[in-house]
């Protein structure tokens, strides 16, 4: 009888472990970009270890009506980054490779997704 109880407890524990939600996959590293601050000077923005498959709208340039887009992205993560010209991962896009992908001042962006 004790064997059955132990077996049932082990099976229940295994079921709990298997059904627990896992954390979202994340790109490891840092994504950097340059934007214009309120005082008109260039500022460096960054996202550390961003979630994969999730759209990240850059908060400093989220409103197309009141700010100029960010530029000069640097992808220092271990995943590809697709940058978009508009918030919510819309508009034209460009892919930056992992670790060394970068764009010049001409590459404008307001959002990014990692994959």
Residue 24: predicted pLDDT: 57
Q: Would you say the pTM of this structure is higher than 0.95? A: no
Residue 67: predicted pLDDT: 84
Q: Is the dihedral of CA 47, 102, 33, 85 positive or negative?
A: negative
What pLDDT digit, counting tens, does each position of 20-70 carry? 444 458 899 999 999 999 899 999 999 999 999 999 999 999 998 888 999
Largest interatomic CA distance in the chain: 76
Residues of the chain with pLDDT > 70: what percent?
79
Q: Under a CB-based contact definition with an 8 Å cutoff, are residues 29 and 99 in contact?
A: yes
Tell me the domains of the chain and their CATH numbers: 29-114 (2.60.20.10)
Q: Which residue in 92, 83, 88, 91 sits closest to 114, CA to CA?
A: 83
């Amino acid at each position: 009888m004790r064997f059955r109880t132990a077996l049932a407890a082990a099976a229940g524990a295994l079921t709990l472990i298997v059904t627990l939600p896992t954390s979202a996959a994340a790109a490891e590293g840092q994504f950097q970009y340059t934007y214009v601050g309120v005082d008109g000077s260039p500022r460096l923005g960054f996202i550390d270890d961003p979630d994969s498959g999730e759209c990240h709208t850059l908060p400093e340039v989220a409103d197309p009506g009141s700010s100029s887009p960010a530029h000069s992205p640097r992808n220092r993560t271990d995943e590809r980054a697709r940058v978009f010209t508009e918030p919510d991962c819309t508009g034209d896009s460009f892919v930056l490779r992992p670790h060394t992908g970068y764009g010049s001042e001409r590459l404008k962006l307001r959002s990014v997704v990692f994959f």
